[in-house]
Amino acid sequence: MAPTATTSVSSTTISSTATATCLNIAPGKNGYLPPEACDVVLYYVPSFAAAVLFCVFYGMTTLAHLIQAVVYKKPYTWVVIMGINAFLYMTLGRMIHFFLPDQKLVGISARRFGVLFVCLDIFAFLVQAAGALMSSAQEGGSLVMTGLHIYMGGIGLQEFFILCFTALAIDLHRKLIRMENSHADYNGKLNQGPFSWRWLFYALYVTLGMITIRIIFRLGQYAQGTSPTNPILTHEWYEYVFDAVPMLAALVTLNFIHPGRILQGPDSGFKEARRAEKEAKKEKKQQKKMAKEEKKSQKKMAKEGKKGHKKEGSSDDEHHGQQWPRSYQRVEGGEDTRYHGYQV
């Protein structure tokens, strides 16, 4: 990618209308506007060839991620098209669920781990969006600088969350090393699959490093405000070297060391775990129902047996009464009185 010029005013056409602070200028080559234009966005002439080339690269790696999500049965990985941060947060949560027997890290359950950091990342993004909106105000002056400061604060907040996440990833890494060294791999998952579990951590660290490079670049990009004298704002190659290339490297790294290559089996994802839990609950419910029906059947049989015994006892009494009759007579005053009964 060749360096681009930054003040090529000759390629633009100045219109007859202007304001006190800027000029209404028609865009030049590839949409370029000089710094004095009212609607200026970039302080350099963008390279069309470089833009197309990186669009192709990003399209290829994104398509590969979507295919891998289907092949490895990891539907959550589609979030990579929205941002690498969420991809990493959700992956580490599933690593906690897969490797640790209690499925918790620093008291945070595996299922809540990814949700927590995704929410924090969204909060940082909203702060950045608010700052960017303020910095784009037409009034300029102090409002623009305030917006830039808020934007940079949001970026710094995002990096803080990433550092916290990295510390927790290292903690999990050390736990798994201790489990392996002490032969405490209760479920045998540390030694299964074609790749070592360590490679997934290495991929996480590389990706987090690339994200940090990009964040540092963003902080330095607006440290001097939006002045046309800022070399980072007036040279396009900074954008590619410190933003586009690191993010492309992060995506490609996750293509080669995809979580699906290491996290395999029924406990490798929350969907599989939820399905297993659902089946276990269904089976437990079925067993409970069967036990209830069996108890009811036994009770019914006992009741019928009791009735049968009672009827049989009554029949025996009648039989014995007919077999052993007893009669006696008493004569009083010449009157014959007879009593008949049944011996019990």
Q: How crowded is residue 116: how many other Cβ atoms within 10 Å of its Cβ?
A: 16
197 and 91, same structural domain? yes
Is the domain of 7 the same as that of 75? no
Q: Are residues 108 and 150 in the same domain?
A: yes
Lowest mean pLDDT among 93-102, 136-145, 256-265: 136-145
Residues 301-325 have a mean pLDDT of: 62
In the predicted structure, residue 260 carries a pLDDT above the cut 80:
yes
Task: Give 185-221 pLDDT, tens digit per residue.
Answer: 666 778 776 778 999 999 999 999 999 999 999 998 8
Query: Is 216 domain-assigned?
Result: yes
Residue 174, pLDDT > 90, answer: yes
26 and 147 assigned to the same domain: no
Strand ranges in the chain using DSSP code E only, listed in sequence order: 13-18, 23-26, 104-105, 108-109, 325-332, 335-342
Bridge partners (DSSP) listed for residue 341: 326
- Do 22 and 159 have their domain in common? no
The pLDDT, as a whole number, for residue 310 is: 63
State the DSSP string of 255-311: HHT-GGGTS-STTSSHHHHHHHHHHHHHHHHHHHHHHHHHHHHHHHHHHHHHHHHHH
Burial class (CB in 10 A: 0-12, 13-18, 19+), 243: middle
pLDDT at residue 254 in the model:
96
Within a domain: 335: no
Query: Would 332 be classed as within a structural domain?
Result: no
* Same domain as 126, residue 234: yes
Higher-confidence residue: 274 or 67? 67
CA atoms within a 13 Å half-sphere pointing along the CA-CB vector of 4 = 26
pLDDT at position 28 is 72
Q: Is the pLDDT of residue 33 over 90?
A: no
pLDDT (tens digit, 9 = 90+) per residue, 117-166?
999 999 999 999 999 888 876 666 678 888 889 999 999 999 999 999 99
- Residues 211, 291: one domain? no
Which tokens is 2 given? 């060749």
Among 262, 256, 254, 94, smallest CA distance to 194 is for 262
**What's the structural domain count of the chain?**
3
Domain ranges, residue 2: 1-45
CB 89 within 8 Å of CB 165: yes
Given this model, what pLDDT does residue 50 score? Answer: 94
Selected residue with higher pLDDT from 335 and 247: 247
Q: End-to-end CA distance of the chain: give it in Å, rounded.
A: 118
Q: Supply the DSSP symbol for 189.
A: G
Residue 220 CB partners (closer than 8 Å, separation 6+):
232
Q: 123 with 20, same domain?
A: no
Do 33 and 157 fall into the same domain?
no
Q: Regarding predicted confidence, which is higher, 263 or 278?
A: 263
Which pLDDT score, from 0 to 100, does residue 295 have? 81
* 339 is a domain residue: no
319 falls in which pLDDT band (50, 70, 90)? low
Q: How many residues does the chain have?
A: 344
Nearest-CA neighbor of 128 among 101, 108, 157?
A: 157
Last residue of a domain, one of 245, 268, 291: 268
